[in-house]
Amino acid sequence: MVAGLVLMLGVSAAQAFDLQQLSNQLAKPDVIHGSFIQEKHLRALPQPLTSKGTFVLAKNQGLLWLLKTPLQQDYRINDKGISRRDANGWQLLPGKSAGAEQNRLFLAVLQGDSSGLTRDFELSLSGDAQDWKLTLIPRSMLLKQVFNQINITGGELVHSIELLETQGDSTLLRMQDSTSAQPLTDAEQHDFAE
């Protein structure tokens, strides 16, 4: 009986879904297209501030974040930093803000870069490949001043990211209709190349 129990425990441990498997799973797609709804819950406001748009994540190229409502604004996040599109094309934004750090983190999450995350956070993963939850607790004093924790859920791709901030505000980002079936369009390739 003990041998049977040990064998069962060994099998379940071998089948456990771990951070490396999650990283591999999220890093697989070359391109992900989808839409998003972002709710910013501020303590001072009774209703959340809601924004909607679409996104394109391309392996080794970055993220296009195309805000549609309440105002139209295009952002590109890549290893050079965050750029915003204006009448003259893409303009690199100053990079030492909390927002820049949040976007770098966001890109690491969507691309399955657990090495970048483990440097800055304690990671706790539960669930399996089809239904998982990753909890990030900040390690550094700088991040501890901004976030209590970050909760990420998903399956094959990321479904939601919840940022719980120290002063009581929070942001919930729901990724919808995500697909890895479509290649980059010519316009998207141009946006990443510019």
Confidence band, pLDDT 50/70/90 cuts, at residue 33: very high
Domain span including residue 67: 18-193
CATH number at residue 150: 2.50.20.10
Element (H, E) at 190: helix 186-193
138 in any annotated domain: yes
- Burial call 48-69: b when 16+ CB within 10 Å, e when fewer: eeebebebbbbeebbbbbbbee
**Three-state SS for 169?**
coil
Helices (H), 60-172: 98-111, 114-120, 141-146
Q: Is-cis flag, bond preceding 48, omega within 30?
A: no
C-alpha to C-alpha distance for 35 and 72, rounded to whole angstroms: 14
3 in any annotated domain: no
Structurally, how many domains does the chain consist of?
Answer: 1
Confidence band, pLDDT 50/70/90 cuts, at residue 189: very high
pLDDT of residue 6: 39
pLDDT of residue 99: 59
42-99 tens-digit pLDDT: 999 999 999 999 999 998 898 899 999 999 999 998 878 888 999 999 998 886 555 5
pTM of the model: 0.82
Residue type, 15: Q
Q: What is the mean pLDDT of residues 170-180?
A: 91
